[in-house]
């Protein structure tokens, strides 16, 4: 049960992905907590209507910009 990150960790393992290669879209607080505990980036949405190309693209850009800033430091 959430906020246990096990389901996200299993998915990463089965798909052979690193946490920094993934973005989880979540609509519940416990889901957000579980996803964050697994190390993946999270796009918190209130409803299915919030899952738009633009919102996903903006979150990916935000993640990439943060990674660039961290590399510069």
**49-64 pLDDT tens trace:** 999 999 999 999 999 9
Contact 19, 42 (CB under 8 A): no
- Non-local CB neighbours of 60 within 8 Å, separated by 6+ positions: 23
Q: What are phi and psi of 29, to 5 degrees?
A: -60, -45
Predicted model pTM: 0.82
pLDDT recorded at residue 70: 64
Asked if the model's pLDDT at residue 73 lies above 70, the reply is no
The mean pLDDT value for 29-48 works out to 96
The mean pLDDT value for 34-39 works out to 96
CA–CA gap between residue 62 and residue 2 (Å, rounded)? 26
Mapping DSSP to helix (H, G, I), strand (E, B) and coil, where does residue 10 land?
helix
The mean pLDDT value for 62-70 works out to 80
């Amino acid at each position: 049960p959430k906020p246990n990150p096990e389901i996200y960790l299993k998915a990463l393992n089965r798909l052979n992905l690193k946490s920094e290669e993934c973005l989880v879209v979540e609509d519940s607080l416990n889901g957000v907590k579980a996803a964050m505990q697994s190390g993946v980036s999270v796009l918190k949405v209130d409803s299915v209507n919030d899952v738009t190309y633009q919102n996903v693209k903006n979150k990916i850009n935000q993640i990439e910009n943060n990674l660039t800033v961290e590399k510069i430091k």
